[in-house]
Amino acid sequence: MNQGQLYIISAPSGAGKTSLVKKLVAELTGVSVSTSHTTRTMRLGETDGIDYFFVSIDKFKAMLEQDCFLEYAQVFDNFYGTAKETVNQQLSEGRDVILEIDWQGAQQIRKQRPDCLSIFIVPPSTDILQQRLSNRGQDDAQIIARRMRDAVTEMSHYPEYDYLLVNDNFELALNELKAIIVANRLILSRQKANQDGLLSALLNQ
């Protein structure tokens, strides 16, 4: 079976990354979003193994010592990490796997998986980014201001990525995201593996 492709998708908060990825997975077959491990408490409505793999701090640290993660980070008192086994299993099944991570996690991934492809998503302007953050109705002005400062740091790392999308029009950005994945499925090395029987039949007349 042909190996799937590993993708990194990063964006500042409010750029629309999560909505784009969710719609992409719903409309394009053979694409999965990797489920991360976390030590934080499960929230109402979340499901273990779907939203996250919820583990204890001791379990997470044991996995760290065993080099189980492609990347990990500590956010305040909680740990988050992408397990190698989770990703490798899906890739071996021929599925394209998306990691929704920040630039720091992306740097960790590239060191272990230089074959990955990375996509950075930016908003069309800082004004629209601030408007999107405000329209969520989840954060106060102080938190929004902090997210805007963080966004500048995040966006400064866009040159490290393979592709850059501007999420101005959602449907256009979604089609561009689909185009990247579909085009990479048509690369000769992947098509040769997928179409081996057909190519042999065509060349052996």
Q: What CATH number corresponds to the domain at position 176?
A: 3.40.50.300
Nearest to 172 by CA among 46, 68, 55, 23: 23
Does residue 117 fall inside a structural domain?
Answer: yes
CB 6, CB 112: distance < 8 Å: no
Tens-place pLDDT, residues 114-172: 999 999 999 999 888 888 888 776 667 888 888 888 888 999 999 999 999 999 999 99
Nearest to 133 by CA among 116, 150, 157: 150
Q: Tokens representing 197? A: 């029987």
* pLDDT at residue 54, rounded to an integer: 96
Does residue 121 fall inside a structural domain?
Answer: yes
- Mean pLDDT, residues 28-32: 95
* Sole residue written with tokens 């689909």: 178
Helix (H) or strand (E) holding 121: strand 117-122
Does residue 120 fall inside a structural domain?
Answer: yes
- Is pLDDT at 64 greater than 70 in this prediction? yes
Q: Which residue has the higher pLDDT, 142 or 62?
A: 62
Confidence band, pLDDT 50/70/90 cuts, at residue 1: low
* pLDDT at residue 81, rounded to an integer: 93
Look over the chain and give the mean of its residue pLDDT values, rounded to a whole number. 91
- What is the C-alpha separation between 135 and 131, in angstroms, rounded? 6
The arrangement of strands across the sheet holding 53-54 comes to 53-54, 37-38, 78-83, 69-75
Share in percent of the chain as helix, strand, coil (round to 5): 50, 20, 30
Does residue 185 fall inside a structural domain?
Answer: yes
Number of domains in the chain: 1
Nearest to 11 by CA among 79, 100, 131: 100
* pLDDT at residue 138, rounded to an integer: 64
Give the chain's largest Cα–Cα span.
70
Contacts of 73 (CB under 8 A, 6+ apart): 79, 80, 81, 102, 104, 105
Enclosing domain of residue 165? 6-34+95-203
- Mean pLDDT, residues 1-10: 90
Does residue 49 fall inside a structural domain?
Answer: no
Does residue 155 fall inside a structural domain?
Answer: yes
- pTM for this entry: 0.88
* pLDDT at residue 115, rounded to an integer: 93
Confidence band, pLDDT 50/70/90 cuts, at residue 23: very high
Does residue 65 fall inside a structural domain?
Answer: no
Does residue 47 fall inside a structural domain?
Answer: no
